[in-house]
Amino acid sequence: MSEQKHLDVSSLVSKKGEFVRNDAAFRNHIEKDGEFPPENGRYHLYVSYACPWAHRTLITRKLKGLEDAISFTVVDFLMLDNGWRFNEKTPGCERDPIFDAQFMRDIYKTTAPEYTGRITVPVLFDKTAKKIVNNESSEIIRMLNCSMNEFSATDQQRALDFYPVELREEIDAINAWVYPNINNGVYRCGFAQSQEAYDKAVQDLFENLEKAEELLSKQRYLVGNRLTEADIRLFTTLIRFDQVYHGHFKCNKKRIIDYPNIWGYLRELYQIPAFRETTDMNHIRKHYMMSHRNINPYGIVSVGPDLDFNAPHDRNEKFPIS
């Protein structure tokens, strides 16, 4: 198919050496009476277990009981010159079941032959129309939260709402500082190409981790005592932090285990099956350390640290939910 060269992160660095993430290009939605109506089995997710943005969608899909309604394919953790690829020889991955494509760029070309932007995951794909619906993770998780409720496996999962109307203002306010300073903040540190850019990014990152620590010292979750999308979005960065970002991205002022409230909160979330069963640390560690050759030229994967995410936590005792 396409011979388009993969655009690496250097294409997202400003003249000041700052990493500046582009907006996603495909922004349609699943909605009744729309181009992409809710239908059982119609939609497919292309994801990477390594990618924190894709990880959000897998967690939400599982929490909402949509495993039978929305299929998914995992790309190889190793991303080099040709970008994300399909490789059934890698444990946890498989061939592309729709087009038998070699690379994710080929999936993009089926929808937009003239597209020249970055090839990213997750991708929500319409198997009937053979079109990309959306490649913005924050919008995909909201679709999975409410647009496919009739296909949830149980009434309990159908009733779950991670972006409830009465909490949306608070959730949006949390996302407004977590995303730029923590979710994207680790990338701003790791891909900075000037000392000035790095210094600003790392200061923002740790100031906002302290903010999260203070918040979680007073309440169980980011928005009171209710699990919301804000927690899903923060989890996928926290679970990668000590294992990857601390060393690989030079986010080494402190570790997550040095924040007692965040560390307990992280363990609680991990011990929920939808979070734990979608976390593949082998894919995560190998992707960053083997793919980012501008940071780690020899692709050597470090051995540690050893962390016990299944260790007991005290979140329920500190903040019981009646």
Residue 198: active-site member = no
Catalytic residue among 43, 46, 51, 189: 51
CB 47, CB 140: distance < 8 Å:
no
Q: Which one of 43, 46, 49, 187 is the catalytic residue?
A: 187
Q: How far apart are CA 300 and CA 288, in angstroms?
A: 10
Buried b (16+ CB within 10 A) or exposed e, 115-140: bebbbbbbbbbbeeeeebbbbbbbbb
Active site residue 93: no
| Per-residue DSSP letter, 103 | B
Burial of 194 (0-12, 13-18, 19+ CB in 10 A): middle
Opening angle at CA 131, ends 283 and 152, nearest 5 = 65
Residue 27 buriedness (CB in 10 A; 0-12 / 13-18 / 19+)? exposed
Q: Measure the CA–CA gap between 162 and 228, rounded to whole angstroms.
A: 4
Pairing between β-strand 70-74 and β-strand 123-126 as defined by DSSP bridges: unpaired
Residues placed in the known binding site for glutathione: 84, 118-121, 136-137
Could you tell me which residues come within 8 angstroms of residue 272 by beta carbon, excluding any fewer than 6 positions away? none
- Binding-site positions read 84, 118-121, 136-137
State the Cα–Cα distance between residues 79 and 95, nearest whole angstrom: 16
**Contact indicator for 105, 83 with CB cutoff of 8 Å:** yes
Q: Which two tokens stand for residue 292?
A: 């980012």
CA-to-CA separations, 147 to 151, 161, 270, in angstroms, rounded: 9, 11, 26
Interacting residues of 28 by C-beta distance below 8 A, sequence separation 6+: 35, 36, 133, 134
| Helix locations, 181-302, DSSP H | 185-190, 195-216, 229-240, 246-248, 260-270, 273-276, 281-291
Catalytic (active-site) positions:
51, 187
